[in-house]
Amino acid sequence: MDASPDLAMFPPLEARQTGMLPVDELHTLYWEESGNPEGIPVVYVHGGPGGGSSPDKRQWFDPDAYRIILFDQRAAYRSTPLGDVRKNTTQLLVADMEVLRKMLGIDKWLVTGGSWGTTLSLAYGQAHPQACLGFVLRGVFLGTPYEIDFFLYGMRRFFPKAHFDFIKWLPEDERKDILSAYEKRLFGDDAEERMRAARMWFKYSEACSLLRHDPTLVEEAAKNDEVVYGTGRLDPFYFRNHMFLETNQLVANIGRIAHLPLMIVQGGHDVIAPPEAAYLVHQAWSGSVLHIVPDAGHSPSEPGIRRKVIEATEYFKRHEKFDAQALQASGPV
């Protein structure tokens, strides 16, 4: 099957099967499968943490060529319990992916993800390189203290109104420590205050995701209470814990997976996951391919981002690698 002429998306399709997978006595994960059961296995690793896998991500892959696996990480979207930070770490999410892969009887899969999904994809690959066919990563985020601080304070240089809206409802004496101020409300006893804080956090992230700001899209996205609550609670929890990673861990351990194919699709004006991280990975990973999309920010909904991701999955289905031919039409790096 071919995507639409501009590689916007493949046609909508329903999941062939879905399920809830218990991974311990507390957490149960939503998972689904669509596409060709005999096709190339591909797993989509969503962002957030806590964002969940929206059904439109099925349309990023040729359903005739790929066995498409989507799932929601611990406490995200349709997984239960929603927004629960107990027993929720990067290492446990990595282990969950292995449980899911083995449950589905998959030998190796192509690992794809965006934003926080790139962080988890790299951590997973470095722990289980034998389970990976390769990687397609969009908007690389390495979880470093610099990136976390930039999200909380640095993005105001590019989106001053969004940042002001993010902090204006906080008492002035709490605005110098935004993370603590939000944690106080996100993990307090007042359910309404928890939801309000989660929504403010989510809207800030969404407002800074698009190169061309669209308040209508932000408001529409913020109507999904499950995604808002999961993202709003898990984002700051993981920030506080440095994403459960050592500083520079993911770049330092790239040698474990550098023999595998990698395509990076990076918005040239991404402020949530600034391009520097993508370039660091590209430099450390010999043979990797980096596409800079010059007219895009962070959001996967931006046409240039989506087009390049689909180009990557289309190229992989034919060649099962990425090389100089896949680099055609890339922006400057």
Q: For 202, left (φ over 0), alpha (ψ -120 to 50), or beta?
A: alpha
Cβ proximity of 271 and 158 under 8 Å = yes
What pLDDT shows up at residue 330?
Answer: 42
What pLDDT shows up at residue 326?
Answer: 72
Choose, from 72, 128, 270, 288, the residue flagged as catalytic: 270
Choose, from 79, 115, 121, 299, the residue flagged as catalytic: 115
What DSSP character marks residue 119? H
Choose, from 163, 282, 291, 298, the residue flagged as catalytic: 298
Q: State how far the Cα of 176 lies from the Cα of 303, in Å rounded to an integer.
A: 36
Cβ proximity of 143 and 49 under 8 Å = no
What pLDDT shows up at residue 214?
Answer: 84
Query: 128 catalytic, yes or no?
Result: no
Query: 115 catalytic, yes or no?
Result: yes
Query: 177 catalytic, yes or no?
Result: no
Low pLDDT (below 50) residues in the chain: 5, 329-333
**Long-range CB contacts for residues 1-6, cutoff 8 Å, separation at least 24:** 1/62, 1/63, 1/64, 1/65, 2/62, 3/62, 3/310, 3/314, 6/303, 6/307
What pLDDT shows up at residue 3?
Answer: 61
The pTM of the full predicted model, rounded to 2 decimals, is 0.96
What pLDDT shows up at residue 38?
Answer: 98
